[in-house]
Protein backbone atom coordinates (compact mmCIF):
# COMPACT_ATOMS: atom_id res chain seq x y z
CA UNK A 1 0.00 0.00 0.00
CA UNK A 2 2.82 2.32 0.91
CA UNK A 3 4.52 1.58 -2.39
CA UNK A 4 1.31 2.42 -4.27
CA UNK A 5 0.98 5.72 -2.42
CA UNK A 6 4.59 6.57 -3.19
CA UNK A 7 4.12 5.76 -6.85
CA UNK A 8 1.02 7.94 -7.05
CA UNK A 9 2.95 10.81 -5.48
CA UNK A 10 5.70 10.38 -8.06
CA UNK A 11 3.18 10.37 -10.88
CA UNK A 12 1.49 13.50 -9.55
CA UNK A 13 4.79 15.36 -9.14
CA UNK A 14 5.81 14.33 -12.63
CA UNK A 15 2.61 15.75 -14.13
CA UNK A 16 2.88 18.94 -12.10
CA UNK A 17 6.38 19.55 -13.46
CA UNK A 18 5.60 18.92 -17.15
CA UNK A 19 2.48 21.10 -16.95
CA UNK A 20 4.44 24.27 -16.25
CA UNK A 21 5.85 24.90 -19.79
CA UNK A 22 2.34 24.65 -21.24
CA UNK A 23 0.91 27.09 -18.73
CA UNK A 24 3.83 29.46 -19.38
CA UNK A 25 3.13 29.34 -23.11
CA UNK A 26 -0.55 30.00 -22.51
CA UNK A 27 0.23 32.92 -20.21
CA UNK A 28 2.73 34.51 -22.63
CA UNK A 29 0.39 34.26 -25.61
CA UNK A 30 -3.01 34.62 -23.99
CA UNK A 31 -3.96 37.63 -26.14
CA UNK A 32 -3.12 35.83 -29.40
CA UNK A 33 -4.47 32.36 -28.72
CA UNK A 34 -7.70 31.52 -30.48
CA UNK A 35 -9.76 28.36 -30.38
CA UNK A 36 -7.64 26.44 -32.86
CA UNK A 37 -4.29 27.23 -31.23
CA UNK A 38 -5.70 26.46 -27.79
CA UNK A 39 -7.08 23.10 -28.94
CA UNK A 40 -3.77 22.30 -30.60
CA UNK A 41 -1.90 23.17 -27.41
CA UNK A 42 -4.22 20.91 -25.42
CA UNK A 43 -3.59 18.06 -27.86
CA UNK A 44 0.19 18.48 -27.46
CA UNK A 45 -0.24 18.44 -23.69
CA UNK A 46 -2.34 15.26 -23.85
CA UNK A 47 0.34 13.64 -26.02
CA UNK A 48 3.07 14.60 -23.52
CA UNK A 49 0.82 13.48 -20.65
CA UNK A 50 0.26 10.05 -22.22
CA UNK A 51 3.97 9.70 -23.08
CA UNK A 52 5.03 10.56 -19.53
CA UNK A 53 2.46 8.12 -18.14
CA UNK A 54 3.73 5.34 -20.37
CA UNK A 55 7.37 6.03 -19.50
CA UNK A 56 6.54 6.21 -15.81
CA UNK A 57 4.71 2.90 -16.02
CA UNK A 58 7.66 1.23 -17.77
CA UNK A 59 10.10 2.53 -15.17
CA UNK A 60 7.95 1.39 -12.26
CA UNK A 61 7.22 -2.00 -13.74
CA UNK A 62 10.60 -3.02 -15.08
CA UNK A 63 13.12 -1.05 -13.07
CA UNK A 64 14.11 -2.87 -9.91
CA UNK A 65 15.59 0.18 -8.27
CA UNK A 66 15.76 3.93 -8.63
CA UNK A 67 12.55 4.06 -10.70
CA UNK A 68 11.38 7.16 -8.80
CA UNK A 69 14.65 8.89 -9.57
CA UNK A 70 14.31 8.15 -13.28
CA UNK A 71 10.75 9.49 -13.39
CA UNK A 72 11.46 12.71 -11.52
CA UNK A 73 14.69 13.27 -13.44
CA UNK A 74 12.92 12.91 -16.76
CA UNK A 75 10.19 15.36 -15.78
CA UNK A 76 12.72 17.82 -14.37
CA UNK A 77 14.76 17.59 -17.58
CA UNK A 78 11.65 18.45 -19.63
CA UNK A 79 11.01 21.50 -17.44
CA UNK A 80 14.69 22.49 -17.50
CA UNK A 81 14.78 22.62 -21.30
CA UNK A 82 12.33 25.53 -21.21
CA UNK A 83 14.71 27.57 -19.02
CA UNK A 84 17.21 27.75 -21.88
CA UNK A 85 16.09 31.05 -23.37
CA UNK A 86 15.90 32.74 -19.94
CA UNK A 87 19.49 31.76 -19.20
CA UNK A 88 20.61 32.77 -22.68
CA UNK A 89 18.95 36.20 -22.37
CA UNK A 90 20.52 36.66 -18.94
CA UNK A 91 23.94 36.04 -20.49
CA UNK A 92 23.36 38.70 -23.13
CA UNK A 93 21.33 36.88 -25.80
CA UNK A 94 22.41 37.42 -29.40
CA UNK A 95 24.83 40.19 -28.35
CA UNK A 96 27.04 37.52 -26.72
CA UNK A 97 28.35 35.06 -29.32
CA UNK A 98 28.67 32.04 -27.04
CA UNK A 99 25.47 32.65 -25.06
CA UNK A 100 23.72 29.58 -26.55
CA UNK A 101 26.66 27.22 -25.94
CA UNK A 102 27.24 28.52 -22.42
CA UNK A 103 23.52 28.22 -21.64
CA UNK A 104 23.60 24.57 -22.67
CA UNK A 105 26.57 23.96 -20.38
CA UNK A 106 24.76 25.64 -17.48
CA UNK A 107 21.66 23.52 -18.11
CA UNK A 108 23.80 20.40 -18.13
CA UNK A 109 25.48 21.31 -14.83
CA UNK A 110 22.10 22.06 -13.22
CA UNK A 111 20.80 18.68 -14.33
CA UNK A 112 23.92 16.83 -13.10
CA UNK A 113 23.67 18.64 -9.76
CA UNK A 114 20.01 17.65 -9.56
CA UNK A 115 20.88 13.99 -10.16
CA UNK A 116 23.60 14.06 -7.50
CA UNK A 117 21.13 15.41 -4.94
CA UNK A 118 18.35 12.93 -5.56
CA UNK A 119 20.79 9.99 -5.57
CA UNK A 120 21.49 10.78 -1.93
CA UNK A 121 18.64 9.02 -0.14
CA UNK A 122 18.77 11.19 3.00
CA UNK A 123 18.76 14.44 1.04
CA UNK A 124 16.21 13.10 -1.44
CA UNK A 125 13.43 12.64 1.17
CA UNK A 126 13.62 16.29 2.18
CA UNK A 127 14.31 17.45 -1.37
CA UNK A 128 11.18 15.72 -2.65
CA UNK A 129 8.99 17.89 -0.39
CA UNK A 130 10.83 20.97 -1.59
CA UNK A 131 10.33 19.98 -5.23
CA UNK A 132 6.65 19.34 -4.68
CA UNK A 133 6.09 22.71 -3.03
CA UNK A 134 8.30 24.55 -5.51
CA UNK A 135 6.51 23.27 -8.61
CA UNK A 136 3.05 23.53 -7.06
CA UNK A 137 3.82 27.15 -6.26
CA UNK A 138 4.95 27.77 -9.86
CA UNK A 139 1.73 26.33 -11.24
CA UNK A 140 -0.39 28.42 -8.88
CA UNK A 141 1.43 31.66 -9.73
CA UNK A 142 1.08 31.10 -13.48
CA UNK A 143 -2.59 30.15 -13.12
CA UNK A 144 -3.19 33.37 -11.17
CA UNK A 145 -1.64 35.43 -13.98
CA UNK A 146 -3.66 33.54 -16.62
CA UNK A 147 -6.85 34.10 -14.64
CA UNK A 148 -6.16 37.81 -14.24
CA UNK A 149 -5.52 38.14 -17.97
CA UNK A 150 -8.63 36.14 -18.84
CA UNK A 151 -10.98 38.11 -16.64
CA UNK A 152 -9.43 41.28 -17.98
CA UNK A 153 -10.82 40.27 -21.35
CA UNK A 154 -14.23 39.17 -20.12
CA UNK A 155 -16.79 41.91 -20.44
CA UNK A 156 -19.13 42.52 -17.50
CA UNK A 157 -22.83 41.96 -18.20
CA UNK A 158 -23.60 45.68 -17.94
CA UNK A 159 -20.98 46.45 -20.58
CA UNK A 160 -22.26 43.77 -22.93
CA UNK A 161 -25.86 44.89 -22.58
CA UNK A 162 -25.10 48.57 -23.08
CA UNK A 163 -22.36 48.51 -25.67
CA UNK A 164 -22.45 45.32 -27.68
CA UNK A 165 -25.09 46.31 -30.21
CA UNK A 166 -23.71 49.83 -30.42
CA UNK A 167 -20.30 48.42 -31.25
CA UNK A 168 -21.63 45.92 -33.78
CA UNK A 169 -23.52 48.75 -35.47
CA UNK A 170 -20.30 50.76 -35.62
CA UNK A 171 -18.34 47.90 -37.19
CA UNK A 172 -21.09 47.16 -39.68
CA UNK A 173 -21.65 50.81 -40.53
CA UNK A 174 -20.11 50.16 -43.92
CA UNK A 175 -21.59 46.68 -44.29
CA UNK A 176 -23.48 47.78 -47.35
CA UNK A 177 -20.55 49.49 -49.00
CA UNK A 178 -22.35 49.45 -52.33
CA UNK A 179 -25.94 50.47 -52.90
CA UNK A 180 -28.29 48.00 -54.55
CA UNK A 181 -28.19 50.03 -57.77
CA UNK A 182 -24.38 49.97 -57.72
CA UNK A 183 -24.37 46.20 -57.22
CA UNK A 184 -26.71 45.65 -60.18
CA UNK A 185 -24.56 47.89 -62.36
CA UNK A 186 -21.27 46.33 -61.22
CA UNK A 187 -22.43 42.76 -61.85
CA UNK A 188 -23.39 43.56 -65.44
CA UNK A 189 -19.76 44.03 -66.47
CA UNK A 190 -16.44 42.31 -66.07
CA UNK A 191 -14.58 44.04 -63.30
CA UNK A 192 -10.94 44.07 -62.33
CA UNK A 193 -9.18 41.56 -60.12
CA UNK A 194 -7.66 42.79 -56.87
CA UNK A 195 -4.36 41.60 -55.39
CA UNK A 196 -3.49 42.59 -51.84
CA UNK A 197 0.05 41.62 -50.83
CA UNK A 198 0.85 42.25 -47.17
CA UNK A 199 4.51 42.25 -46.13
CA UNK A 200 4.68 41.88 -42.39
CA UNK A 201 6.44 44.66 -40.51
CA UNK A 202 7.63 46.52 -43.63
CA UNK A 203 8.43 50.06 -42.67
CA UNK A 204 8.20 53.05 -45.01
CA UNK A 205 10.86 53.83 -47.60
CA UNK A 206 11.70 56.93 -45.58
CA UNK A 207 12.51 54.87 -42.49
CA UNK A 208 14.39 52.35 -44.64
CA UNK A 209 16.63 55.17 -45.91
CA UNK A 210 16.99 56.59 -42.38
CA UNK A 211 18.18 53.24 -41.04
CA UNK A 212 20.33 52.47 -44.06
CA UNK A 213 22.36 55.64 -44.26
CA UNK A 214 25.61 53.82 -45.06
CA UNK A 215 24.27 52.62 -48.43
CA UNK A 216 23.02 56.06 -49.43
CA UNK A 217 19.64 54.75 -50.61
CA UNK A 218 18.00 56.79 -53.37
CA UNK A 219 14.29 56.41 -52.55
CA UNK A 220 13.36 58.84 -55.33
CA UNK A 221 14.83 56.36 -57.81
CA UNK A 222 12.91 53.50 -56.17
CA UNK A 223 9.64 55.45 -56.38
CA UNK A 224 10.33 56.34 -60.03
CA UNK A 225 11.01 52.69 -60.82
CA UNK A 226 7.59 51.82 -59.41
CA UNK A 227 5.93 54.79 -61.12
CA UNK A 228 7.28 53.67 -64.50
CA UNK A 229 5.23 50.50 -63.94
CA UNK A 230 2.14 52.60 -63.05
CA UNK A 231 2.51 52.00 -59.33
CA UNK A 232 2.19 54.98 -56.98
CA UNK A 233 4.02 54.98 -53.66
CA UNK A 234 1.97 56.67 -50.91
CA UNK A 235 4.17 59.00 -48.89
CA UNK A 236 3.56 59.24 -45.14
CA UNK A 237 1.15 56.31 -45.19
CA UNK A 238 0.21 55.21 -41.69
CA UNK A 239 -1.26 52.07 -40.23
CA UNK A 240 -4.09 52.46 -37.73
CA UNK A 241 -2.97 49.73 -35.33
CA UNK A 242 0.48 48.45 -34.48
CA UNK A 243 -0.15 44.68 -34.46
CA UNK A 244 -1.06 42.17 -37.14
CA UNK A 245 -4.33 40.93 -35.64
CA UNK A 246 -5.78 44.43 -35.15
CA UNK A 247 -4.38 45.89 -38.37
CA UNK A 248 -5.70 43.04 -40.49
CA UNK A 249 -8.96 43.12 -38.57
CA UNK A 250 -9.53 46.77 -39.46
CA UNK A 251 -8.65 46.19 -43.13
CA UNK A 252 -11.02 43.25 -43.46
CA UNK A 253 -13.78 45.23 -41.75
CA UNK A 254 -12.95 48.31 -43.87
CA UNK A 255 -13.54 50.23 -40.68
CA UNK A 256 -11.80 51.42 -37.52
CA UNK A 257 -12.14 48.78 -34.83
CA UNK A 258 -12.34 51.10 -31.87
CA UNK A 259 -14.76 53.78 -30.80
CA UNK A 260 -15.09 55.83 -27.64
CA UNK A 261 -15.68 53.48 -24.75
CA UNK A 262 -14.20 50.44 -26.52
CA UNK A 263 -10.71 49.26 -25.60
CA UNK A 264 -8.49 46.30 -26.40
CA UNK A 265 -9.59 44.74 -23.11
CA UNK A 266 -13.19 44.40 -24.26
CA UNK A 267 -13.95 40.89 -25.39
CA UNK A 268 -16.45 41.92 -28.02
CA UNK A 269 -13.87 43.65 -30.19
CA UNK A 270 -11.79 40.45 -30.39
CA UNK A 271 -14.41 38.95 -32.69
CA UNK A 272 -13.04 41.26 -35.37
CA UNK A 273 -9.39 40.20 -35.09
CA UNK A 274 -7.37 38.34 -37.71
CA UNK A 275 -7.24 35.47 -38.54
CA UNK A 276 -10.25 34.46 -36.43
CA UNK A 277 -12.50 36.82 -38.39
CA UNK A 278 -12.00 34.83 -41.61
CA UNK A 279 -12.02 31.41 -39.99
CA UNK A 280 -14.19 28.61 -41.28
CA UNK A 281 -16.13 28.75 -38.01
CA UNK A 282 -17.18 32.36 -38.65
CA UNK A 283 -17.96 31.68 -42.30
CA UNK A 284 -20.30 28.84 -41.35
CA UNK A 285 -22.18 31.33 -39.17
CA UNK A 286 -22.26 33.83 -42.07
CA UNK A 287 -20.17 36.20 -39.97
CA UNK A 288 -18.07 37.44 -42.86
CA UNK A 289 -15.95 40.56 -42.42
CA UNK A 290 -17.32 43.53 -44.34
CA UNK A 291 -14.78 43.20 -47.15
CA UNK A 292 -15.59 39.53 -47.79
CA UNK A 293 -19.32 40.23 -47.45
CA UNK A 294 -19.15 42.89 -50.18
CA UNK A 295 -16.94 40.77 -52.43
CA UNK A 296 -19.38 37.87 -52.25
CA UNK A 297 -22.29 40.20 -53.12
CA UNK A 298 -20.34 41.16 -56.24
CA UNK A 299 -19.58 37.49 -57.06
CA UNK A 300 -15.87 37.91 -56.43
CA UNK A 301 -13.92 34.87 -55.31
CA UNK A 302 -11.96 35.61 -52.12
CA UNK A 303 -8.68 33.69 -51.83
CA UNK A 304 -6.33 33.75 -48.88
CA UNK A 305 -2.75 32.61 -48.48
CA UNK A 306 -0.55 33.09 -45.46
CA UNK A 307 -0.59 33.65 -41.67
CA UNK A 308 1.55 31.90 -39.09
CA UNK A 309 -0.76 28.97 -38.55
CA UNK A 310 -1.83 28.53 -42.16
CA UNK A 311 -4.95 29.30 -44.17
CA UNK A 312 -5.42 25.56 -44.75
CA UNK A 313 -6.14 25.20 -41.05
CA UNK A 314 -8.30 28.26 -40.44
CA UNK A 315 -10.36 28.17 -43.59
CA UNK A 316 -9.61 25.59 -46.30
CA UNK A 317 -12.51 26.73 -48.50
CA UNK A 318 -10.78 30.06 -49.27
CA UNK A 319 -7.18 28.80 -49.06
CA UNK A 320 -5.15 28.68 -52.25
CA UNK A 321 -4.03 25.24 -53.45
CA UNK A 322 -5.74 23.52 -50.56
CA UNK A 323 -5.91 19.73 -50.33
CA UNK A 324 -7.37 17.52 -47.62
CA UNK A 325 -3.92 16.04 -47.21
CA UNK A 326 -2.57 19.50 -46.33
CA UNK A 327 -5.20 19.93 -43.64
CA UNK A 328 -4.53 16.54 -42.08
CA UNK A 329 -0.80 17.27 -41.99
CA UNK A 330 -1.40 20.65 -40.40
CA UNK A 331 -3.74 19.20 -37.81
CA UNK A 332 -1.27 16.49 -36.83
CA UNK A 333 1.82 18.67 -36.67
CA UNK A 334 1.56 22.40 -37.10
CA UNK A 335 5.18 23.33 -37.29
CA UNK A 336 4.70 27.03 -36.77
CA UNK A 337 2.95 26.51 -33.44
CA UNK A 338 5.58 23.97 -32.47
CA UNK A 339 8.28 26.44 -33.44
CA UNK A 340 6.85 29.09 -31.11
CA UNK A 341 6.24 26.55 -28.33
CA UNK A 342 9.81 25.24 -28.50
CA UNK A 343 11.55 28.59 -28.97
CA UNK A 344 12.44 28.70 -25.26
CA UNK A 345 14.28 25.39 -25.55
CA UNK A 346 17.62 24.55 -27.21
CA UNK A 347 16.05 21.74 -29.28
CA UNK A 348 15.80 23.63 -32.56
CA UNK A 349 19.33 24.98 -32.31
CA UNK A 350 20.72 21.53 -31.45
CA UNK A 351 18.93 20.02 -34.43
CA UNK A 352 20.32 22.71 -36.72
CA UNK A 353 23.84 22.19 -35.36
CA UNK A 354 23.71 18.43 -35.94
CA UNK A 355 22.19 18.86 -39.39
CA UNK A 356 24.77 21.42 -40.42
CA UNK A 357 27.91 19.67 -39.24
CA UNK A 358 27.05 15.97 -39.41
CA UNK A 359 24.11 15.32 -41.66
CA UNK A 360 24.96 18.07 -44.13
CA UNK A 361 21.29 18.97 -44.46
CA UNK A 362 19.55 22.31 -44.46
CA UNK A 363 18.73 23.78 -41.10
CA UNK A 364 15.34 23.06 -39.62
CA UNK A 365 12.78 25.22 -41.30
CA UNK A 366 9.45 24.56 -39.69
CA UNK A 367 7.86 27.17 -41.87
CA UNK A 368 8.47 25.22 -45.06
CA UNK A 369 5.93 22.55 -44.17
CA UNK A 370 2.20 22.38 -44.57
CA UNK A 371 1.85 25.47 -46.71
CA UNK A 372 3.12 27.61 -43.83
CA UNK A 373 6.13 29.45 -45.23
CA UNK A 374 7.33 32.89 -44.47
CA UNK A 375 7.51 33.78 -48.17
CA UNK A 376 4.33 32.83 -50.02
CA UNK A 377 5.32 34.42 -53.31
CA UNK A 378 6.15 31.22 -55.17
CA UNK A 379 3.00 29.59 -53.81
CA UNK A 380 0.97 32.40 -55.33
CA UNK A 381 2.86 32.34 -58.64
CA UNK A 382 2.34 28.60 -59.05
CA UNK A 383 -1.22 28.22 -57.81
CA UNK A 384 -3.17 31.38 -58.59
CA UNK A 385 -5.82 31.32 -61.28
CA UNK A 386 -3.33 33.17 -63.49
CA UNK A 387 -1.26 30.01 -63.82
CA UNK A 388 -4.32 27.87 -64.63
CA UNK A 389 -6.96 27.72 -67.33
CA UNK A 390 -9.61 29.54 -65.33
CA UNK A 391 -12.71 31.16 -66.76
CA UNK A 392 -12.17 34.90 -67.34
CA UNK A 393 -15.75 35.57 -66.25
CA UNK A 394 -14.76 35.06 -62.62
CA UNK A 395 -13.35 37.97 -60.61
CA UNK A 396 -10.80 37.37 -57.86
CA UNK A 397 -9.62 39.07 -54.69
CA UNK A 398 -6.31 37.69 -53.35
CA UNK A 399 -5.05 38.30 -49.83
CA UNK A 400 -1.42 37.20 -49.64
CA UNK A 401 0.27 37.59 -46.25
CA UNK A 402 4.06 37.30 -46.53
CA UNK A 403 5.73 37.05 -43.13
CA UNK A 404 8.78 39.10 -43.98
CA UNK A 405 10.76 41.41 -43.79
CA UNK A 406 9.93 40.97 -40.10
CA UNK A 407 10.42 37.21 -40.43
CA UNK A 408 12.48 35.47 -37.77
CA UNK A 409 14.27 33.83 -40.67
CA UNK A 410 16.91 35.90 -42.38
CA UNK A 411 17.42 36.47 -46.09
CA UNK A 412 20.32 38.22 -47.67
CA UNK A 413 19.86 41.08 -50.13
CA UNK A 414 19.74 38.48 -52.96
CA UNK A 415 16.87 36.64 -51.24
CA UNK A 416 18.98 33.63 -50.33
CA UNK A 417 17.87 32.17 -47.03
CA UNK A 418 20.45 32.27 -44.28
CA UNK A 419 20.98 29.52 -41.71
CA UNK A 420 20.63 32.17 -39.06
CA UNK A 421 17.42 32.42 -37.07
CA UNK A 422 16.51 35.51 -35.11
CA UNK A 423 16.38 38.95 -36.62
CA UNK A 424 18.44 41.98 -35.66
CA UNK A 425 18.71 45.43 -37.17
CA UNK A 426 21.07 44.52 -40.05
CA UNK A 427 19.11 41.34 -40.72
CA UNK A 428 15.93 43.38 -41.09
CA UNK A 429 17.62 45.68 -43.63
CA UNK A 430 18.72 42.63 -45.66
CA UNK A 431 15.20 41.22 -45.49
CA UNK A 432 13.87 44.61 -46.63
CA UNK A 433 16.20 44.53 -49.66
CA UNK A 434 14.88 41.07 -50.47
CA UNK A 435 11.29 42.26 -50.07
CA UNK A 436 11.82 45.04 -52.62
CA UNK A 437 13.16 42.44 -55.07
CA UNK A 438 10.13 40.24 -54.38
CA UNK A 439 7.80 43.14 -55.13
CA UNK A 440 9.62 43.76 -58.43
CA UNK A 441 9.17 40.07 -59.26
CA UNK A 442 5.44 40.20 -58.57
CA UNK A 443 5.00 43.42 -60.54
CA UNK A 444 6.58 41.80 -63.62
CA UNK A 445 4.38 38.72 -63.24
CA UNK A 446 1.13 40.67 -62.84
CA UNK A 447 2.04 43.05 -65.65
CA UNK A 448 2.27 40.04 -67.94
CA UNK A 449 -0.65 37.99 -66.62
CA UNK A 450 -3.19 40.58 -65.42
CA UNK A 451 -2.18 44.09 -66.57
CA UNK A 452 -5.52 45.71 -65.73
CA UNK A 453 -5.65 44.49 -62.13
CA UNK A 454 -5.79 46.66 -59.03
CA UNK A 455 -2.72 45.83 -56.92
CA UNK A 456 -1.65 46.80 -53.41
CA UNK A 457 1.73 46.11 -51.81
CA UNK A 458 1.37 47.13 -48.22
CA UNK A 459 2.49 46.45 -44.67
CA UNK A 460 0.25 45.52 -41.75
CA UNK A 461 2.43 47.68 -39.47
CA UNK A 462 5.88 49.17 -39.30
CA UNK A 463 8.70 48.15 -37.02
CA UNK A 464 10.71 49.79 -34.28
CA UNK A 465 14.27 49.12 -33.13
CA UNK A 466 14.08 51.49 -30.14
CA UNK A 467 16.71 53.72 -31.62
CA UNK A 468 15.87 56.58 -29.28
CA UNK A 469 14.44 54.67 -26.33
CA UNK A 470 11.43 56.94 -26.56
CA UNK A 471 7.98 55.38 -26.41
CA UNK A 472 6.36 58.14 -28.42
CA UNK A 473 9.02 57.88 -31.07
CA UNK A 474 8.66 54.09 -31.13
CA UNK A 475 4.89 54.31 -31.62
CA UNK A 476 5.33 56.87 -34.40
CA UNK A 477 7.91 54.72 -36.18
CA UNK A 478 5.77 51.59 -35.91
CA UNK A 479 2.82 53.35 -37.56
CA UNK A 480 4.81 54.20 -40.71
CA UNK A 481 4.28 51.64 -43.44
CA UNK A 482 5.21 50.79 -47.00
CA UNK A 483 2.21 51.37 -49.26
CA UNK A 484 2.39 50.91 -53.03
CA UNK A 485 -0.78 50.95 -55.14
CA UNK A 486 -1.75 50.45 -58.75
CA UNK A 487 -5.20 51.66 -59.80
CA UNK A 488 -6.77 52.61 -63.17
CA UNK A 489 -6.04 56.08 -64.55
CA UNK A 490 -9.62 57.13 -63.83
CA UNK A 491 -8.98 56.49 -60.13
CA UNK A 492 -5.56 58.06 -59.63
CA UNK A 493 -7.00 61.39 -58.49
CA UNK A 494 -8.05 59.64 -55.29
CA UNK A 495 -4.45 58.72 -54.43
CA UNK A 496 -3.14 61.00 -51.70
CA UNK A 497 -1.50 60.93 -48.30
CA UNK A 498 -4.88 60.14 -46.72
CA UNK A 499 -4.57 56.57 -47.97
CA UNK A 500 -3.87 54.52 -44.88
CA UNK A 501 -4.22 50.72 -44.69
CA UNK A 502 -8.04 50.85 -44.37
CA UNK A 503 -8.55 53.37 -47.16
CA UNK A 504 -6.27 51.32 -49.41
CA UNK A 505 -8.83 48.50 -49.29
CA UNK A 506 -11.80 50.82 -49.83
CA UNK A 507 -10.01 52.51 -52.73
CA UNK A 508 -9.12 49.17 -54.36
CA UNK A 509 -12.69 47.90 -54.09
CA UNK A 510 -14.10 51.05 -55.67
CA UNK A 511 -11.48 51.38 -58.38
CA UNK A 512 -11.81 47.73 -59.41
CA UNK A 513 -15.57 48.19 -59.87
CA UNK A 514 -15.41 51.68 -61.40
CA UNK A 515 -17.39 53.30 -58.59
CA UNK A 516 -16.68 56.42 -56.56
CA UNK A 517 -14.26 55.76 -53.67
CA UNK A 518 -15.75 56.17 -50.20
CA UNK A 519 -12.76 57.01 -48.06
CA UNK A 520 -12.73 57.44 -44.30
CA UNK A 521 -11.20 60.34 -42.44
CA UNK A 522 -7.72 59.35 -41.32
CA UNK A 523 -7.46 58.88 -37.57
CA UNK A 524 -4.51 59.03 -35.24
CA UNK A 525 -2.82 55.60 -35.06
CA UNK A 526 -3.37 53.52 -31.92
CA UNK A 527 -0.59 51.33 -30.47
CA UNK A 528 -2.91 48.28 -30.36
- The model's pLDDT over 226-259, given as tens digits with 9 standing for 90+, comes to 999 999 999 888 887 777 878 888 888 888 876 6
pLDDT at 223: 92
Entry pTM? 0.76
pLDDT-based confidence at 510, cuts 50/70/90?
A: very high
Burial of residue 125 (CB within 10 Å: 0-12, 13-18, 19+) is exposed
E strand or H helix at 397? strand 395-402
Contacts of 352 (CB under 8 A, 6+ apart): 363, 364, 419, 421
Q: What does each C-alpha distance from 5 to 2, 9, 10, 55, 466 come to in angstroms?
A: 5, 6, 9, 18, 55
Per-residue model confidence as pLDDT tens digits over 53-95: 887 777 777 766 666 777 788 888 889 988 888 888 887 766 5
- Higher model confidence: residue 509 or residue 414? 509
pLDDT digits (tens, 9 = 90+) for 288-342: 888 999 999 999 999 988 776 667 777 777 888 665 555 555 555 666 677 778 8
Q: Looking at residue 482, what is its pLDDT? A: 93
Task: Return the pLDDT at 367.
Answer: 38
Report residue 14's pLDDT band, with 50, 70 and 90 as the boundaries. confident
What pLDDT score was predicted for residue 366? 37
Would you identify the CATH topology of the domain 194-313+378-512? Alkaline Phosphatase, subunit A (3.40.720)
What's the Cα-to-Cα distance from 111 to each of 72, 118, 351, 459, rounded to whole Å?
Answer: 11, 11, 20, 45
Percent of the chain with pLDDT over 70: 73
Q: 3 pLDDT exceeds 90?
A: no
Sorted by where each begins, the domain ranges of the chain are: 2-152, 194-313+378-512
Rg (CA), the chain: 26
94-151 confidence digits (pLDDT tens): 656 677 788 888 889 988 888 888 777 777 777 777 888 888 898 899 888 887 776 6
pLDDT given at position 353: 62
Decide if pLDDT at 375 tops 80. Answer: no
Predicted pLDDT at 360:
45
Asked if residues 227 and 237 have their Cβ atoms less than 8 Å apart, the reply is no
Amino acid sequence: MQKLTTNIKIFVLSYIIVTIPFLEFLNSNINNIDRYIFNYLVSIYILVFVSISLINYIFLKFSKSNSQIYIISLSFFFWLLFRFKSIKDFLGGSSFKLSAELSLIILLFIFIFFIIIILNEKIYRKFYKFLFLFFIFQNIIILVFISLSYFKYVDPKEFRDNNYQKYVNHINKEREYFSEDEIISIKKKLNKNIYLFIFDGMTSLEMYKRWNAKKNIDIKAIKKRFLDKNYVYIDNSLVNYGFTNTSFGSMLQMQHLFTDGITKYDKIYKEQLFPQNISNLNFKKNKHPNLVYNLYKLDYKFIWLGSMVGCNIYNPQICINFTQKDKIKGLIINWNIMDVFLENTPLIQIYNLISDYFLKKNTLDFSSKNNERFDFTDEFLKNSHLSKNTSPKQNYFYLIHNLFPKSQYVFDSSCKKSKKKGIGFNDYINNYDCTLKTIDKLIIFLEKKDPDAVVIFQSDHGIDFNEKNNNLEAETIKSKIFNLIKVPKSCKNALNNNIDNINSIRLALSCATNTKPKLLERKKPKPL
